[in-house]
Amino acid sequence: MVSGIEHRVQRKLGTLFMLVLERYGMVMRPEVAWDLRGQAAGQANGRRNFIRFNRELAERYPDEFVAQTVPHELAHLVAFKKFGGRIRPHGREWQAVMIALGAEPRRTHRFEVTPVRKLKRFAYQCHCPDSEYQLTAIRHNRIQRGHVYVCKRCLQPLEPKAADH
């Protein structure tokens, strides 16, 4: 079953697809997923013709999401298809497509987002004096499984830092 916001987004995309066909002569039928989380409202992948949306932000800010985020992400796909993959993500080509789609060419949304969780860091050191590296849990776990990270200065492997007493 399609939720209310998904239905609104599908309708908006349908209108935008017609605009793209009229303006650029392109048929756009990207795959759409609702699995994006965190601070980003949307994400587009031109190579895969794929858009991801953040359901939580869409449900909290439905009007602006439909008016701004939906054309924003579709404009990425249109710009990619029309101008190729070497353009800047929010460059003049993308901005021109945004205007053609009737949206303000803004790079970021204005939604209030819940703070991103604080990732745990692990202290590591090398043989350089007073060295300390704060590694994420991902890198820490890789080291635990045998991966080696080295200091760029002394080229020695990073080791867990001994706790200060």
Pairing of strands 159-160, 50-53: unpaired
What is the residue type of 16? L
In a domain, 77, yes or no: yes
How many independent structural domains does the chain possess? 2
Query: Which residues form the catalytic set?
Result: 73
Q: CA-CA distance, 30 to 70, in Å (whole number)?
A: 12
Q: Which domain holds residue 144?
A: 121-160
- What are 26-60's pLDDT values in tens digits? 999 999 999 999 889 999 999 999 999 999 999 99
Model pTM score:
0.70
In a domain, 110, yes or no: no
In a domain, 116, yes or no: no
Co-location of 92 and 125 in the same domain: no
Query: CB within 8 A of 45, min separation 6: which ones?
Result: 51
Co-location of 11 and 61 in the same domain: yes
Co-location of 22 and 66 in the same domain: yes
Query: What is residue 164's predicted lDDT score, i.e. its pLDDT?
Result: 52
Using the CB atoms, write b or e for 95-133: b if 16+ within 10 Å. bbbbebbebebeeebebeeeeeeeeeebebbbeeeeeeb
- What are 128-165's pLDDT values in tens digits? 988 899 999 889 999 999 999 999 899 999 999 876 54
Q: CA-CA distance, 55 to 28, in Å (whole number)?
A: 22
In a domain, 92, yes or no: yes
Q: CA-CA distance, 20 to 14, in Å (whole number)?
A: 10
